[in-house]
Structure 1
Amino acid sequence: MAKETKYTEDNIKSLDWKAHIRMRPGMYIGKLGDGSSADDGIYILLKEVLDNSIDEFVMGSGKTIEVSIQGSRVIVRDYGRGIPLGKVVDVVSKMNTGGKYDTNAFKKSVGLNGVGTKAVNALSSFFRVESTRDGNSVSAEFEQGELINTEELTETSRRRGTKVSFIPDEAIFKSFNYRKEYIEKMLKNYVYLNPGLSIIFNGEKFYSEEGLKDLLGDRIAEKDRLFDIIHLKGNDIEVALTFSKAQYSEEYHSFVNGQHTTQGGTHQSAFREAIVKTVREFYGKNFDPSDVRKSIVSAISIKVMEPVFESQTKTKLGSTDMGGNLPTVRTYIVDFVKTKLDNYLHKHTDTADKLHRKILQAEKERKDLSGIRKLAKERAKKASLHNKKLRDCRIHLTDTKKENYLDTTLFITEGDSASGSITKSRNVNTQAVFSLKGKPLNSYGLSKKIVYENEEFNLLQAALNIEDSLEDLRYNNIVIATDADVDGMHIRLLIITFFLQFFPELIKEGHLYILQTPLFRVRNKKETIYCYSENERKEAIKKLSGSPEITRFKGLGEISPDEFVHFIGDDIRLDPVMLEKDQSIDDLLKFYMGKNTPDRQNFIIDNLRVEIDLLEEIAYETN
């Protein structure tokens, strides 16, 4: 019989605000990460500070926000009203303290719980806040949430507003690096949602006049659009939509009170329903919802009184009411879309004709596919009972109540040895593995029929749960893990082609990555260093001095599970797969997977030369 453990008053511990945040950062900012993913904690820290400046603009104060990021130091300066001078320390260091509890001051604010800047403060090795109002300023400095210095009321000629500077704590955010692409995307979303606002980032200005219409213009190349972007605006709601000629699935960008709800919620569900309802009534036909919404690229932004989100990171809206005397979220959105979109289609008959032809084409394709789709689903269902290809994890992206749901990852590997190494060393709670037999089929130019006919594609689609949209995507990170040789590169290209051809929104939304694995192991009897580049190899040799043992890894299968755990754990290195602004998916696929053009041949030769030169240099050094 187990010995009874004492449970007394001494077992009850009360952590102060900063200790709790530092002990459980995931509760406040989601996952940590090194900056390779757009939802890594370092970007959430920036967002939490920016949200306060945005709220000032929304309340009519301060049309410009300045953001500076130099190395690890972040500075955000707004020209709003400034924090009341007597409360500067309290606002950034006392939980449940802030102006947003007064709903008259901040009726439709993003940060309603008073946690944001306190979390930034607690998770920063250095944090400084300065407020200027009425010709006076007050500042305070902190280290890891501890107040270390204050500057009392001082006269100043500076313009009013708030300036926050912070450095994320490297004890929590290890080896992190801010990526310009993610910062720019975040800032663009802010200006799209707040026309008239200027954000200056390291000297570059971001500004929008047409809101969500500009957002879609940035997300889908003009040549890929079925028709001009439809832009509809009302009180507390804005909508933009078009349809793509280059993708099959649905793409939504949804926002609540300026917060990017990447996992949708009640407003996105209502919007999807509203599109179908309006189109059915306009054409007087009971179209299948999937035919109506196929290939839609859209954005919706609403403002709600005191929104309820399903997690602290606010990625999914749970509210069913708009607040005040307004109707439910669903009724409000359905009524707005029904009126405005119906009017638009009546006025723009050319757009209405193109949409009608698109729906009829989608209907024909769906009916042609119905038989094989049914068989494929049955096959996937049987395979899921005993699916050797997928070794699943316990937590998924849809489990928004769980603290580490944003860490959910699917590794796509090739070959039994590589799959075995990752499977044995993975975190079974958040990391899953999908094994390919060999090189996947080149899907360039093929119809979606191939997704159902090809067993691997069908099972991969089922594993991700993305047949119609990303709403129920099961993993936040999809990581291609192949060897860093010519065959491995080709497999990467074929997998990226599959996603670009059929699910480009996965790439647009920043879910697809390539796993970096070390090229070399440099070690002596005391220390082992894994090197991801030639420069790192040279640094490691210099550090270990003497004649350390150097191993060149030729494939993932050569790396033992005991070693592999270092490369997919806290120190994982990922390269995000990104699409450039206004880049046509069709053009991209033609370049990489079409006929051998001189441009592509030159690209391959240039990239292979780097690897060949590296191998020749190593061979020369070791001989």
Structure 2
Amino acid sequence: MAQETKYTEDNIKSLDWKEHIRMRPGMYIGKLGDGSSADDGIYILLKEVLDNSIDEFVMGSGKTIEVSIQSSKVIVRDYGRGIPLGKVVDVVSKMNTGGKYDTNAFKKSVGLNGVGTKAVNALSSYFRVESSRDGKSVSAEFDQGNLVNKEDLEQSSRRRGTKVTFIPDEVIFKKYSYRNEYIEKMLKNYVYLNPGLTIMFNGEKFYSEEGLKDLLSDRIREEDRLFPIIHLRGNDIEVAITFSKAQYSEEYHSFVNGQNTTQGGTHQTAFREAIVKTIRDFYKKNFEPSDIRKSIVSAVSIKVMEPIFESQTKTKLGSTDMGGDLPTVRTFISDFMKQKLDNYLHKNNETAEQLHRKILRAEKERKDLSGIRKLAKDRAKKSSVHNKKLRDCRIHLEDTKKEGYLETTLFITEGDSASGSITKSRDVNTQAVFSLKGKPLNSYGLSKKIVYENEEFNLLQAALNIEDSLEDLRYNNIVIATDADVDGMHIRLLIITFFLQFFPELIKEGHLYILQTPLFRVRDKKETFYCYSETERREALKKLRGKPEITRFKGLGEISPDEFKNFIGDDIRLDPVMLDKYKSIPEILEFYMGKNTPDRQNFIIDNLKVEIDLVEEVKEEINEVK
């Protein structure tokens, strides 16, 4: 019989604001991470500070924001109105304190809960805020949310505005580093949504005149567009639409009050429905939604009074109403599209004809594939019960109200030994494993038909739930976990080719990664170091005494489950797969998977040579130690 545990007043504890944030950071900034993913906490900290500066611009104050990041130190300076001087400390250190509760001052603000800068403060080892206005200045410095210094200047020549400096705390964010690619994308989204705003980042200028039209121009090259970008604007709404020649599935970029809702929400669902309804009405034909939206690349931005999001990180809109006396989100977007898109198609006959031909091609392809799709779906249903390829997890990306949804990960492995090690050491709540049987098919140049004909591709597509769009993607991170040898590199390339060929938006949106696994284990009787590079191996040898044991890991199957948990847990190292912004997807595929041109041969030889040289050098050193 279990012994009864005492439950008294001593068990009841109250944490102050900073203690609660530091104990439960996931509640405020989503996942922690090391900076390898765009939704890691260090970027959320930057976003929370930037949102306040953006709101100043929206309110008509301050056309320039300066951002500087050097190593781990972040500085954000705006030229807005400045925080009221008597409230500088309160605004960054008292929960539920802020100007955005006054809806007259901030009617359609991003940050409405008064938490943002407090979370940044509490999660930083150094945090400094300075406000200048009316010829005066007040600054305050904090350490992990604790006020350590405050300075008031009765006279100041500094330009009005707010300057925030912070260093994310390494106690919370371990071994992190900022990636400029993620920051640049964030800043570009800010200027696309706020035409006329200038953001300077480490000396580089970001500026947009045509809003969401510029966003699509940056995402899809002119030669890859089916027709010129349709750009529509109205009160509290902006839309940009085109269709791609180089991808099959749907791609959406949605925003609410300047916040990139990467998980979509009620506005994105309404937008997808409105496109179908408007186009059906225009052509007076009851086309299938998938035929209409196939290959769409689009963006929608709306402004809502006091929006309700499904998580603190504001990645999915839950609001059904626009606020005030305005209609529902669905009705608002539907009415706008019915009027504006219909008018555009009537005025632009060539675009209307190209769109019509595109829909008819999609319809023909769907009918041609209907038989094989049905067979593939039936096979997938049967195999989902018996199939051993997928070891699923309990939480998925759509579970936005469950803690850990941003950590959801699918490991794509090759071979039974590697998948077995990961399966035994994974977190069953958030980590799933999909096991390939040998090398996957080279899908370069093949049609979508192959996704249904090839059992592994079909099951992978079903596991990810991405047949038509990313809206129902089941895992935030898709991680290719293969051996770091020639065969492993080839398998990586074949998997990346599959995603580039059929689901490039998955890579564009930063969901695909390569798992880094240690090359060496260096240990003595007291300590063990796992080394991911030659430099780390040398540093480990310096820390150990005597003749340490050096093990070279040849493949994932050699690493025991007990050891593997060290590499896919809190200290996981991921390399994001990113697209070269100067090259189109067809160009990238041609270079890597086309005929063996001299350029491709030289690239492969140069990259393999590094690996071969490293192996030979280590063999010699191991022999010397022995």
Which segment is superposed worse, 404-413 or 578-587?
Answer: 578-587
Which segment is superposed worse, 266-275 or 149-158?
Answer: 149-158
Q: Superposed, which structure 2 residues align to 1:254-269 within 5 Å?
A: 254-269=254-269
Give, as a single letter, the amino acid of the residue that structure 2 aligns with 1:56.
E
Q: Superposed, which structure 2 residues align to 1:46-65 within 5 Å?
A: 46-65=46-65
Give the drift of 1:11. 1.3
Cα root mean square deviation, aligned: 0.9
CA contact 1:393–1:432 (8 Å) conserved in 2? yes
1:155 counterpart SS class? coil
Name the residue aligned to 2:443. Answer: 443
Give the drift of 1:114. 0.3
Q: Superposed, which structure 2 residues align to 1:65-84 within 5 Å?
A: 65-84=65-84
Give the drift of 1:153. 3.6
Give, as a single letter, the amino acid of the residue that structure 2 aligns with 1:307.
P
Name the residue aligned to 1:469. Answer: 469
Name the residue aligned to 1:460. Answer: 460
Q: Deviations over 1:506-539 (max 9, x none)?
A: 0000000000000011111111111111111111
CA contact 1:132–1:160 (8 Å) conserved in 2? yes
Q: Deviations over 1:118-148 (max 9, x none)?
A: 0000101111000000110001111111111
Give the drift of 1:582. 4.6
Name the residue aligned to 2:388. Answer: 388
CA contact 1:128–1:141 (8 Å) conserved in 2? yes
Q: Deviations over 1:216-267 (max 9, x none)?
A: 1111122211111111111110000100001100000000000000010010
Give, as a single letter, the amino acid of the residue that structure 2 aligns with 1:605.
I
Give the drift of 1:109. 0.1
1:432 counterpart SS class? strand
Give the drift of 1:546. 3.1
Name the residue aligned to 1:45. Answer: 45
For the pair 1:190 / 2:190, whether they are aligned, the reply is yes
Give the drift of 1:616. 2.5
For the pair 1:118 / 2:129, whether they are aligned, the reply is no
Name the residue aligned to 1:224. Answer: 224
Q: Deviations over 1:294-313 (max 9, x none)?
A: 00000000000000000101
Name the residue aligned to 1:277. Answer: 277
Give, as a single letter, the amino acid of the residue that structure 2 aligns with 1:558.
E
Q: Superposed, which structure 2 residues align to 1:175-324 within 5 Å?
A: 175-324=175-324
Give, as a single letter, the amino acid of the residue that structure 1 aligns with 2:453.
E
Name the residue aligned to 1:96. Answer: 96
Q: Deviations over 1:57-104 (max 9, x none)?
A: 000000000001111110100000000000000000000000000000
Once residues 210 and 487 of structure 1 are traced to their aligned partners in structure 2, the CA distance between those partners, rounded to angstroms, is 46
Once residues 7 and 529 of structure 2 are traced to their aligned partners in structure 1, the CA distance between those partners, rounded to angstroms, is 45
Once residues 436 and 615 of structure 2 are traced to their aligned partners in structure 1, the CA distance between those partners, rounded to angstroms, is 28
Once residues 64 and 403 of structure 1 are traced to their aligned partners in structure 2, the CA distance between those partners, rounded to angstroms, is 36
Give the drift of 1:350. 1.0
CA contact 2:191–2:197 (8 Å) conserved in 1? yes
CA contact 1:223–1:584 (8 Å) conserved in 2? no
Once residues 437 and 619 of structure 2 are traced to their aligned partners in structure 1, the CA distance between those partners, rounded to angstroms, is 32
Q: Superposed, which structure 2 residues align to 1:106-185 within 5 Å?
A: 106-185=106-185
Give the drift of 1:615. 2.0
Once residues 245 and 206 of structure 2 are traced to their aligned partners in structure 1, the CA distance between those partners, rounded to angstroms, is 29
Name the residue aligned to 1:518. Answer: 518
Once residues 137 and 514 of structure 2 are traced to their aligned partners in structure 1, the CA distance between those partners, rounded to angstroms, is 48
2:568 counterpart SS class? coil
Give, as a single letter, the amino acid of the residue that structure 1 aligns with 2:407.
D
Give, as a single letter, the amino acid of the residue that structure 1 aligns with 2:568.
I
Name the residue aligned to 1:413. Answer: 413
CA contact 2:69–2:202 (8 Å) conserved in 1? yes
Give the drift of 1:391. 0.4
Give, as a single letter, the amino acid of the residue that structure 1 aligns with 2:216.
L
Name the residue aligned to 1:36. Answer: 36
Give the drift of 1:544. 1.4
Once residues 602 and 239 of structure 1 are traced to their aligned partners in structure 2, the CA distance between those partners, rounded to angstroms, is 44
Once residues 521 and 222 of structure 1 are traced to their aligned partners in structure 2, the CA distance between those partners, rounded to angstroms, is 49
CA contact 1:483–1:556 (8 Å) conserved in 2? yes
Once residues 348 and 581 of structure 1 are traced to their aligned partners in structure 2, the CA distance between those partners, rounded to angstroms, is 30
2:368 counterpart SS class? helix
Runs of 4+ in 1 over 4 A off after TM superposition: none
Once residues 118 and 153 of structure 1 are traced to their aligned partners in structure 2, the CA distance between those partners, rounded to angstroms, is 24
Give the drift of 1:622. 3.6
Once residues 386 and 574 of structure 1 are traced to their aligned partners in structure 2, the CA distance between those partners, rounded to angstroms, is 31
Name the residue aligned to 2:351. Answer: 351
For the pair 1:375 / 2:375, whether they are aligned, the reply is yes
Q: Superposed, which structure 2 residues align to 1:570-589 within 5 Å?
A: 570-589=570-589
For the pair 1:567 / 2:572, whether they are aligned, the reply is no
| Alignment: residue pair count | 623
2:152 counterpart SS class? strand
Give the drift of 1:545. 4.0
CA contact 1:218–1:582 (8 Å) conserved in 2? no
Q: Deviations over 1:167-219 (max 9, x none)?
A: 11100100000001001000000000000000001111110111101111111
Once residues 218 and 583 of structure 1 are traced to their aligned partners in structure 2, the CA distance between those partners, rounded to angstroms, is 12
Give the drift of 1:337. 1.0
For the pair 1:422 / 2:422, whether they are aligned, the reply is yes
List gaps (5 residues or longer) in structure 1. none
User: What TM-score comes out, normalization by structure 1 length?
Assistant: 0.99
Give, as a single letter, the amino acid of the residue that structure 1 aligns with 2:362.
A
CA contact 1:217–1:582 (8 Å) conserved in 2? no
Give, as a single letter, the amino acid of the residue that structure 2 aligns with 1:230.
I
CA contact 2:524–2:545 (8 Å) conserved in 1? no
1:471 counterpart SS class? helix
Once residues 519 and 3 of structure 1 are traced to their aligned partners in structure 2, the CA distance between those partners, rounded to angstroms, is 48
2:470 counterpart SS class? coil
Once residues 620 and 569 of structure 1 are traced to their aligned partners in structure 2, the CA distance between those partners, rounded to angstroms, is 32
2:471 counterpart SS class? coil
2:472 counterpart SS class? coil
Once residues 609 and 345 of structure 1 are traced to their aligned partners in structure 2, the CA distance between those partners, rounded to angstroms, is 55
Once residues 282 and 581 of structure 2 are traced to their aligned partners in structure 1, the CA distance between those partners, rounded to angstroms, is 34
Give, as a single letter, the amino acid of the residue that structure 1 aligns with 2:204.
E
CA contact 1:221–1:582 (8 Å) conserved in 2? no
Could you tell me the percent identity over the aligned residues?
A: 87
Q: Deviations over 1:554-574 (max 9, x none)?
A: 000000001100000000000
Once residues 4 and 426 of structure 2 are traced to their aligned partners in structure 1, the CA distance between those partners, rounded to angstroms, is 34
Name the residue aligned to 1:550. Answer: 550
List gaps (5 residues or longer) in structure 2. none
CA contact 1:271–1:333 (8 Å) conserved in 2? yes
User: What TM-score comes out, normalization by structure 2 length?
Assistant: 0.99
Name the residue aligned to 1:487. Answer: 487
2:129 counterpart SS class? strand
Once residues 3 and 522 of structure 2 are traced to their aligned partners in structure 1, the CA distance between those partners, rounded to angstroms, is 48
Which segment is superposed worse, 153-162 or 187-196?
Answer: 153-162
Name the residue aligned to 1:402. Answer: 402
Q: Superposed, which structure 2 residues align to 1:17-36 within 5 Å?
A: 17-36=17-36
Once residues 27 and 239 of structure 2 are traced to their aligned partners in structure 1, the CA distance between those partners, rounded to angstroms, is 32
Give the drift of 1:324. 1.5
Once residues 415 and 9 of structure 2 are traced to their aligned partners in structure 1, the CA distance between those partners, rounded to angstroms, is 55
Give, as a single letter, the amino acid of the residue that structure 1 aligns with 2:166.
F
Once residues 253 and 545 of structure 2 are traced to their aligned partners in structure 1, the CA distance between those partners, rounded to angstroms, is 53
CA contact 1:249–1:467 (8 Å) conserved in 2? yes
Give, as a single letter, the amino acid of the residue that structure 1 aligns with 2:416.
D
